[in-house]
Structure 1
Amino acid sequence: MLTMSLNLSLILFAIASTGTPGPNNLMILASGLNHGVRRSLPHLLGICTGVPIMILAVGFGLDQLFQQWPILFTILKVAGISYLLFLAWKIATTQVRQGPQTNNPPMTYVQAAAFQWVNPKAWVMVLSAVASFTVAEISLTPQILTIALTFLPIGLCCVGCWLVAGESLRRLLHDARKQRLFNVTMASLLVLSIAPMMAV
């Protein structure tokens, strides 16, 4: 198991990683506004279980593939950035009806969970967590499980706050013009969030 100091550091790292702006949080914020909390729950659960699944995969050997073939990480990064640009375009062009619902359906659980595998921020977060919060002197399995199980509830709380905030914005953005402006703003921020990932 991790030491007390490592556990505290891991918790703070998970809060900072899952609570700060990034592709997941910007998209779930937009989903909360456009679809509401209830319809966006599969999207939320896909994010919050997809990351721990990645942690398990990386912790139990997937990172060795990237060490052997660095081109794989480059391919994933290019695919992820391309998909983020596509999602930004979808958010910006969402057809807003008068009222909370839109013509575009919210992300499904599978789509949100699968998106983590092409999300550059998720890869940086997962690889950093596994590298920073495991020690060679202790069995790897309980350490990886601890990291994954730490990210699950913290992700639900932090990303969930963004979802609730999105639905709360409905009261301020009650007409279609304001919702369209919000969607374009979120899409622009999503594109801007790609810039730091280009350097990874």
Structure 2
Amino acid sequence: MSLTLSMAAFALAASISPGPVNIVALGSGARHGLRASLKHVTGATVGFSLLLLLIGLGLHELLRHWPAMTRVLHIGGVAFLLYMAWKLASDRGELGRDNHTPPPSLLTGATLQWLNPKAWLASVAGIGAYVGEGQTALLWQFTGIYFVICYLSIASWAWAGSVISHYLDNPARVRLFNRVLAALLVASALYLLLA
């Protein structure tokens, strides 16, 4: 297997698997449609790519010297997941013109990646596996491959949400769907606390 294919396989496995960013994309796609969800998809992809690039350029060394910062990021990520779960669980599920809940923004997507321990682990593992010697050309190649695959992976979750949206034709179903997504986010947060 070529190095490029190996990088792509790693990026796909890490990006397409369920996680907080993909759960939010699924919910956004169901509630707002694919087009409106692309801001979140773009923000999450840019946020992750920037994180990957900075870790490759040495951010992980800085965090090794300040372990308290790692803990702050971890706790902040869990708190952000719980906040998003609360927002979903408390939504009344009302549809139509009176519902002014905006789709997740570009900034929400990027912030969610930076507070997502899964993103940090994928970045550190990927850099260790593919750019361990610190070759800048390989870092840029890996970041570019990851950008494309990450975007398509998160977008596929938003698309899946838009496909199932026609099943969410009444407030009771929307509330149930939102509460299932909220439970998944809480489960992700608890896993991260216990890991």
Give the TM-score band, short-chain normalised.
over 0.9
The residue identity in structure 1 corresponding to 2:121 is V
Where does residue 164 of structure 1 map in the other structure? 159
1:197 correspondence with 2:192: yes
Where does residue 147 of structure 2 map in the other structure? 152
1:100-158 CA-to-partner distances (Å, cap 9, x unmatched) read 9843211111221122211111111111111111142xx62111111111111111211
| Contact 2:21–2:112 (8 Å) recurs in 1 | no
Shift of 1:163: 0.4
| Contact 2:92–2:171 (8 Å) recurs in 1 | no
| Contact 2:39–2:104 (8 Å) recurs in 1 | yes
Distance 2:44 2:140 in 1: 18
1:185 correspondence with 2:180: yes
What SS does the aligned partner of 2:2 have? helix
| Contact 1:95–1:104 (8 Å) recurs in 2 | no
Distance 1:142 1:198 in 2: 36
58, 70, 73: which is aligned to 1:73?
70
Aligned residues: 195
- Report the RMSD for the aligned CA atoms in angstroms: 1.8
Map 1:1-200 onto structure 2 (within 5 A): 5-99=2-96, 102-136=99-133, 140-200=135-195
TM-score w.r.t. length of structure 1? 0.90
Gaps of 5+ in 2: none
The residue identity in structure 2 corresponding to 1:93 is S
The residue identity in structure 2 corresponding to 1:161 is S
Distance 1:100 1:26 in 2: 24
TM-score w.r.t. length of structure 2? 0.92
Q: 1:101 to 1:66 in 2, by over 3 A?
A: farther
Shift of 1:199: 4.9
